Structures are given as structure tokens and as C-alpha cells.
Amino acid sequence: MVYIEKFGHGGDLLTARQLFGKDSAQLLDFSANINPLGPPPRVMELLKDQLESIVHYPDPAHRVLKQKLAGKHSVSSEQILIGNGAAECIALAILGLQPETVGVTYPCFSEYEQLARAFGASIKPLLGREENDFKPERSEILQLIANTDLVFAGHPNNPTGVTYSKEELVEMAEQAEKTNTYLIIDEAFIDFIPIETRITLLEDLQRWKQVILVRSMTKFYAIPGLRLGYMVADPTLILKLQAKQVTWSVNQLALLAGEAVLNEKEYEEATITLIQEQRTYVKLAIEEKLGWRVFPGQANFLLVRISADITAAELQWRMGHKGILIRSCSMYQGLTDQDFRIAIRTEEENQCLIQALIEVSKEGNPS
Ligand SMILES: Cc1ncc(COP(=O)(O)O)c(C=O)c1O
């Protein structure tokens, strides 16, 4: 049964409003993994000031943002492609590389499979084992890379929060080079991980011609409605994918926001600290007060398995009537109808979530 995910994703407030008879201000959204601090206030101000710039076309070559991101990551501008969200980057990668077979490590973001199929590829699935918190086996992922044209790996993966070690990433990249397979490492949520423990191939990316890193700016900077993401890869590969991009697909306000957020160091630190603290709080509260299993994710969300006689869809329905949206995960390959995902939000909001979960879980079985 699907309620708010009728178009495949969380964060669908229009559907939630219609289902639960509430307006947006009455809904607390834990179903999309967006920074609960909202966009940096200075960036909101800048956008208001710059609203009139929409009378001009945006820079079709995204020069300023590319340069800033290149500086931030110590790569060249030629290694960067700016997209209308990480979603556009993923689509461009498949469109540009035209893989016949795409390896997908489940459970994962549904767009990998959906876009691969839409562009005519066939899927080779690899299911992570529950006893390993759904992390794919090392040997199996290497085999998947050897047997396909392109492989997606979420790092951290959505909805499990699983990450790979540096050694594992290097091994995967080397396998991709050896077997002539493209490896797309989706780092859409990586900015939520503290810099000291953040593991990425970014620093050594020039070693690998087959590896593409995808990043999102919509989640960390809370601008999903504006849309902004980018990928980093070998310049030749970037040129090839850029050739498939619709000119001006990234709008002027998104470019301006992207340039401005890169100066927001304090906001970045505050976000990371908040998410770290609150993820621990939410995880422990669910484990101790509800006795439900929480998978050990690294990102700004948690995957939870209900151990009560209620499905995630029913839980979502009851929570929705209290004005709290959670993401049912029954439609993710490899997960069950007892699984749901919640974003980590502010302390007060997380307390509301826990309180509501306790109340709902005591309501008894659905008839
Ligand atoms: C793993 C993952 N990658 C990419 C995206 C797309 O992000 P964006 O909003 O930047 O297009 C999402 C969105 O939920 C996601 O979960």
C-alpha cells in the first residue's frame, strides 16, 4: 500500500495535504531528507535581492559556480558538470554513456533503476544482506562491476545510510578501470558526514577515468525546490555528458544560490553538529522507547524496522493524521512492509516525532 509515495518519493506535500486534510504549515516532514535549518538566511536574502536577474538567461556554461566548486574541491573546472539536481546528473550519465547493462545495489534510490530502464538499459541487481545492514558484499560488488557497463553505489546509500571504506572504494574504482565499467558513486548525502570521517575518492579522482562522483546541493543547503547538483569526473567524460544536457537547464537563481552557499562555513558546521547529535538521540530513543531496530546509517536519515503488529504504511497513515510525515520503505527492493525512513530534524521536532511514534504504537492493531 502506498500513501504519500504515489510518485515514488517522500516529500510530496501536495499528496500529504490532500490525504491528511492539513496545510503545509501543519505538516512536519520527516519523509524527505532535507537540512532542518532551512537554507542559509544570507542566501535567502540574496535570492530575494536578485529576483530580477531572472529577466536574463542564466550562464549556459555555469562558469562562476564551476570555478568555485573547483576551488573548494581542488579539481579543475573541466572536471565539473553542474546539473538541475543530482537527479539530472544521474540521468545525463546514463544518457551520455549509453550502458546496455546497469548494476544496481539494492535497496537504493529508485531513480537509478527507473532512469536506466527509461534510457533502455537492462538491470543487474545486487541485494545487500540484512545481516550486513544491507551493505553489498565486497566480492559481489566487484563481480557486478566486472559484469555490467555501469554500476551505481550510494555513499552514503539511501535509504540504508551505508558507506564504504576508502579501501573498498579504491578497490571498486580499480575494478571499474580494469573492466571498462563506469562507476557512479552517488554522494548526494556526503556533506552531512563530518569532514574528519568523510571518505571520498575526490582527492585522487584523476587516477580513475571511469569513476563519476555525483553530489547534491539540494539536501544539505535545503533548496530541493530550486534544484542543484553536480558531478565530478574526468574532463573528457564531462564533455561527453555535457553534450547531452539541455542548455539553461540550471536556472539563474539556483546558480546564484550555489555560489553563495559555498561561503557558509558556520552554517555547514552547525548542520553537521546538529545532525550528528540528533541522529544519536533519535536512534537511541527509537531503540529504547519503542524497541525497534534502527540500522546504523551515516547520513541525515535513519532506516527503521518496526517490531510491532503494524505496517509502515499504517504507521505513516496514523502519523500523517498527527501532522508528521514519515517515508514508508516497503517499495524498496530488499526491504519489507515493516520498514520506514525518517529524516533527522531539530531537537524539538525530533522529540515530537518520538512522542508521536510512541502514541501511535500504543494505539493497538489496525482492524
Ligand atoms: C541518493 C540520492 N541521490 C540523488 C538524489 C537527487 O537529489 P537532487 O535533489 O539533488 O536531484 C536523491 C534525492 O532524494 C537521493 O536520495
CA 251 from chain center: how many Å? 21
Cα of 216 from ligand 1 centre, angstroms: 6
Q: pLDDT at position 321, please?
A: 94
Contact 217, 261 (CB under 8 A): yes
Q: pLDDT at position 39, please?
A: 98
Whether pLDDT at 31 is above 70: yes
How crowded is residue 48: how many other Cβ atoms within 10 Å of its Cβ?
8
Q: Which of 21-25, 110-114, 121-125 has the lowest mean pLDDT?
A: 21-25
Q: pTM, whole model, 2 decimals? A: 0.96
Pocket test for ligand 1, best of 162, 216, 227, 249 (most atoms within 8 A of CB): 216
Where, residue-wise, is CATH 3.90.1150.10 in the chain? 13-40+266-362
Q: What is the mean pLDDT of residues 265-278?
A: 98
Cα of 352 from ligand 1 centre, angstroms: 26
pLDDT band, very low/low/confident/very high, at 365 (cuts 50, 70, 90): low
Cα of 36 from ligand 1 centre, angstroms: 16
User: What Å distances lie between residue 207 and 81, 173, 234, CA to CA?
Assistant: 18, 9, 9
What is the CATH architecture of 13-40+266-362? Answer: Alpha-Beta Complex (3.90)
Whether pLDDT at 289 is above 50: yes
Q: What is the mean pLDDT of residues 326-354?
A: 97
Burial 264-303 (b: 16+ CB within 10 A, else e): beebbeebbebbbebbeebbebbeeebebbbbebbbbbbb
Whether pLDDT at 265 is above 90: yes
Where, residue-wise, is CATH 3.40.640.10 in the chain? 41-261
Q: What is the mean pLDDT of the chain?
A: 96
Cα of 30 from ligand 1 centre, angstroms: 15
Q: pLDDT at position 367, please?
A: 47
Supply the CATH classification number for the domain 41-261.
Answer: 3.40.640.10
Higher local confidence (pLDDT), 282 or 25 = 282
For 158-184, the pLDDT digits (tens) are 999 999 999 999 999 999 999 999 999
Pocket test for ligand 1, best of 9, 89, 152, 158 (most atoms within 8 A of CB): 158
Whether pLDDT at 366 is above 80: no
